[in-house]
Amino acid sequence: MLAPAMAEVAAESLAGGRARAARTVLNQVVLPGEELLLPEQEDAEGPGGGGERPLRLNAGVRSRVRVVCGPGLRRCGDRLLVTKCGRLRHKEPGSGSGSGGGVYWVDSQQKRYVPVKGDHVIGIVTAKSGDIFKVDVGGSEPASLSYLAFEGATKRNRPNVQVGDLIYGQFVVANKDMEPEMVCIDSCGRANGMGVIGHDGLLFKVTLGLIRKLLAPDCEIIQEVGKLYPLEIVFGMNGRIWVKAKTIQQTLILANILEACEHMTTDQRKQIFSRLAES
């Protein structure tokens, strides 16, 4: 839940009917329906330099702004609208990306997953209908998975997939008007780590924000966890984590640590890891 003061500020801004400049609301609460404004980023001699304008993702030839929309933001024509309640975040573009606008997203504690094309997820096979498997991915409806969507699968060489198995794959079709479809091969026809996950191990669910945090390139949590015990771990963008260690006790310890990392500070996490390393 939002703090009362933060909620009032966000509600007043939304009620005013005017778009807010993104640079003034970074790390602040935004509400669904708000429109974002970004600084003009054209050549110095171009018109409107330094002014505010609605974020245009399909800008003309003169504009050199390249903005990547992350979770919580939606393209609506030439505008960018907020679709989730949370804090607006921004990441500057890399040194070799030119004069881009960077990446914008809304950091929210959402638990319900909405399928997105290209996302790697962990699903549970719930049924088999002909040549199609139905996979529970935590969305509003199950995803479909063809038996030919595995490496080396043919009509004679069918994969050994049973109801109840865990599947790690990626979405190739995901939109609001069609049933999501997933595969267990990449563009080259290779499994590349995807397929049926082992029957051992533990599957648990966390928030989508924690998954994005653990998969960030600069995240130190996974490196610290890997130093404790030898383990196998799989992350799904749908908020599911599968982990396996040598013993059941180690597996449960790792699962509890990953779940608690969402609400711990860096110092608290280091203290826990040091205690476990000593024991």
Residue-wise pLDDT tens digits, 206-259: 988 889 888 888 888 888 888 888 889 999 999 999 999 999 999 999 999 998
Range of weakest confidence among 58-72, 82-96, 106-120, 210-224: 58-72
> How far apart are alpha carbons 13 and 18 in whole angstroms?
7
Q: What share of the chain in percent tops pLDDT 90? A: 28
Q: Is the pTM of this model over 0.75?
A: no
Residue type, 23: R
Q: Residue 70: pLDDT above 50?
A: yes
Q: Residue 54: pLDDT above 70?
A: no
Mean pLDDT of 123-142: 92
C-alpha 275: how far from its chain's center?
31
Considering 40-44, 77-81, 119-123, the range whose residues carry the highest mean pLDDT is: 119-123
pLDDT of 200 reads: 86
pLDDT of 100 reads: 56
DSSP state of 156: S
pLDDT of 38 reads: 67
pLDDT of 163 reads: 93
pLDDT of 45 reads: 33
Residue 55: pLDDT band by 50, 70, 90 thresholds?
A: low
Hey, which bits of 149-265 come out as E strands?
A: 166-175, 178-183, 195-197, 202-205, 231-236, 240-245
Q: Residue 10: pLDDT above 90?
A: no
Q: Which residue has the higher pLDDT, 55 or 117?
A: 117
Q: Residue 9: pLDDT above 80?
A: no
Q: Residue 98: pLDDT above 60?
A: no
**Continuous H helices in 158-220:** 208-214
DSSP state of 86: E
> Torsions phi, psi of 52, nearest 5?
-105, 140
pLDDT of 39 reads: 56
Q: Residue 202: pLDDT above 90?
A: yes
Q: Which residue has the higher pLDDT, 176 or 100?
A: 176
The two structure tokens encoding residue 167: 């599947």
* Cα separation values, 92 from 23, 66, 263, Å: 12, 11, 26
Q: Residue 16: pLDDT above 80?
A: no
pLDDT of 47 reads: 42
